[in-house]
A and B are shown apart, each in its own frame.
Chain A
Amino acid sequence: MDPITLLTVVVLAVFVGFEVVSKVSSTLHTPLMSGANAIHGIILIGAIIVAGQTTETGLLVVALIAVVLATANLVGGFVVTDRMLGMFRGRKPATDAGEGTK
């Protein structure tokens, strides 16, 4: 891939990453970290590509281990985040309005 295109994408993604979390209240730090953690589980598609291109047995085993680990990250990450957030039900909308002021 063209290095300049990549650089453009990376720089823009950095700013989006900064921007989307800049005002989050401390109450949600833990779920946000957990959610971000789940998102980098998308390395799974990298692991799938690598495993799908390997023909040698030893390398295939390593690649499949990577698939297992990445799946654990992706699936486990989203499930645990959902469980955490499920406990925030019944929260009054009035309360989050106040949180932004901290």
Chain B
Amino acid sequence: MSLLAPEWTAILYLIAAVCFILALKGLNSPRTARRGNLIGAAGALLAVVTVFLSSRLENIPLILVAIAVGSAIAAPIARRVQMTQMPQLVALFNGVGGGAAALVAVLELGHSLDAWVRVAVVFTMLIGAVSFSGSAVTVAKLQELITTRPVIFPGMRWVMTAVLLASIVAGGFVVATGSAGWAIALLLLGLAAGLLLVLPVGGADVPIVISLLNAFTGLAVAASGIVLGNLLLVVAGTLVGASGTILTRAMASAMGRGVSGIMFGAFRGGSTAGSTAQSDRPVRSSGPEDVAVLLAYAQRVVIVPGYGLAVAQGQHTIAELATTLAARGVEVDFAIHPVAGRMPGHMNVLLAEANVPYESLKEMAEVNPEFKHADVALVVGANDVVNPAAKSSPGSPIYGMPILEVGQARQVIFLKRSMRPGFAGIENELLYDPKTSLLFGDAKDSLTKVLGAVNAL
């Protein structure tokens, strides 16, 4: 009862694949990004309609109900979620996609398949399961359901090795026999591997892991396309796998890290671990009133927002502070580090949401020469992205990462929760500089107090 001839099906799938390519292409530039995303969605819709028209399907009512349920769950969450929680949501969607790919592969195993297709089944199940459980861990870390610090236990490396070897053995049995029991064992091993892979990753590196798992899910989808003999899945999955890999590398290099260092650093007892040690060197701590005076009587203020601002949900308060200062005749700019926030580009989204005009958001290359003309650099909840160690000490884990040169401003004010080092776990010399003053506390509370003090002047 299929309504479409195979040739038409293939052509419609080809159009959908082209839509996906145009979608990724469109996402390259802010002007075309939204349209690109819509083209991608249109391609997906076309593909789903095509599959209903082209295959001989049973259970169509139940499938439609399942689609309705999935949409009814996902769309409202996607619409309402706080923008600060958006990375978790992307991770969540990525994880369920990986899970779906793994389930599809398991179910296909019941059909008689060539041995080489069963290799694709094994690959889909393993990678899909890794992506599912790995994404679950990233969600838990970002939501702070579990610690954001690397979780490592003695012998973890050996457990990981054992799990990987066992996966190869189980995968071999699945290829040879097609047995369901081995397939379930393989799924469980994949889930364990995902946990072991992501638990040792420190909080600051989690976004890169999300991107990597995103590429993984793409590869799992591509492999599932081989299993089902569906070229659209092969093309779409491969596109995501390839672009996701490039994106992961680009994100890692913007943070001055290597991908393998992030994934395996903690296993080697290396760089992602981060220390919680606090130094007892003297710093100049000041009150909200002092900060207010410095800001209100400055000519130029550059605000450097960071992760702490996003966590404290302080973006609306800082937008208000910027407006208030501007009304007093102070020139206010925001300096956005490429990796400010939770993910590259995240801070732009957060500040855009708080209605900070786009013109006052300046990118690093544009704003760095301007710091020397600034009276005050106000660093809110950022640390590593302004740490001069990235330029001056070659031994430092962040050495080579481009930074915002706030040290060139006449005065530097840090709003920080504590003297704890940033996620990279390294001391920031700038905190001890005589021209630096610190206001401790939650970013939003501190900003509210400073705003009140400015208004009272």
Give residues in A with beta carbon < 8 Å to B: 1, 3, 6, 9-10, 13-18, 20-24, 26-55, 59-60, 62-88, 90-93, 95-96, 98-99, 101-102
Given known pairs A1-B229, A39-B44, the reply for A17 and B29 (CB within 8 Å) is no
Q: Is B240 an interface residue (CB 8 A)?
A: yes
Chain A residue at smallest Cβ distance from B219: A40
Asked if B349 is at the interface (CB within 8 A of a chain A CB), the reply is: yes
| Known contacts A9-B238, A21-B246, A38-B41, then 12 further A-B pairs from the complex at CB < 8 Å, ordered by chain A residue | A13-B239, A17-B238, A21-B28, A28-B28, A29-B251, A33-B214, A38-B40, A39-B240, A40-B217, A70-B96, A71-B71, A91-B30
Tell me, rounded to whole Å, the shortest Cβ–Cβ distance linking A99 to chain B.
7
Q: Which residue of B lies closest to A67 (CB)?
A: B66
A92 CB, nearest partner CB in chain B, Å: 7
Partner of A33, one of B103, B210, B339: B210
Quick one: closest B residue to A77, CB to CB? B93
Which of B52, B63, B358 has most A Cβ within 10 Å?
B63
Q: Is B414 an interface residue (CB 8 A)?
A: no
Verify A55–B233 contact, CB threshold 8 A.
no
How many of chain B's residues have a CB under 8 angstroms from any CB in A?
115
Chain A residues, Cβ within 8 Å of B21: 16, 20
Interchain CA distance A66-B243 in the complex, whole Å: 25
Q: Cα distance A32–B237 when bound, in Å?
A: 15
CB–CB B103/A69 < 8 A: yes
Contact of A85 with B242 in the complex, beta carbons under 8 Å: no
Determine whether the beta carbon of A20 is less than 8 Å from that of B24: yes
| Best-surrounded residue of B70, B345, B349 (most CB of chain A within 10 A) | B70
Considering residues B33, B36, B344, B357, which has the most beta carbons from chain A within 10 angstroms of its beta carbon? B33
In the docked arrangement, what's the CA distance between A88 and B140, Å? 28
B75 adjacent to A76 (CB under 8 Å)? yes
Interface stretch of the complex, out of B220-228, B326-334, B388-396, B437-445: B220-228
Question: A70 to B25, alpha carbons, bound, how many Å?
Answer: 23
A residues in contact with B74, CB < 8 Å:
71-73, 75-76, 79
A88 B38 Cβ-Cβ under 8 A: no
Chain A residue nearest to B215 in the complex (CB) = A36
Contact B81 A53 (CB under 8 A): no
Docked pose: A40 CA to B223 CA in angstroms? 12
- Complex Cα spacing A65 to B349, Å: 33
Name the prevailing secondary structure of the B interface residues. helix
Contacts of A64 in B (CB 8 A): 62-63, 66
B232-284 at interface with A (beta carbon < 8 Å): 232-247, 250-251, 254
Could you pull out 5 A-B pairs where Cβ atoms are within 8 angstroms? A36-B214, A39-B239, A68-B73, A71-B66, A75-B75
Min CB distance, B83 to chain A, in Å?
8
Complex contacts, B232 vs chain A, CB 8 Å: 42, 45
Q: Which 4 A-B residue pairs are closest in the complex by CB-CB distance?
A: A17-B242, A71-B70, A52-B57, A76-B74
What CA separation (Å) do A62 and B183 show in the bound complex? Answer: 14
CA distance A27 to B107 in the complex (A): 40
| Residues of chain A with a CB closer than 8 A to B104's CB | 43, 46-47, 50, 63, 66
A54 engages B59 (CB within 8 Å): yes
By the criterion CB–CB under 8 Å, are B78 and A93 in contact? no
Choose among B47, B55, B225 the residue with the greatest number of A CB atoms under 10 Å from its CB.
B225
Instruction: Report B-chain residues with C-beta under 8 Å of the C-beta of A39.
Output: 20, 23-24, 40, 44, 218, 236, 239-240
Task: State which of B359-367, B378-386, B424-432 sits at the interface with chain A.
Answer: B359-367
- In the complex, what residues of B have CB within 8 A of residue A63's CB? 103-104, 107
**Cα of A22 to Cα of B243 in the assembled complex, Å:** 8
**Contact flag A52-B59 (CB < 8 Å), given A17-B243, A68-B73, A75-B71:** yes
Known: A41-B97, A49-B55, A76-B78. A69 touches B70 (CB 8 A): yes
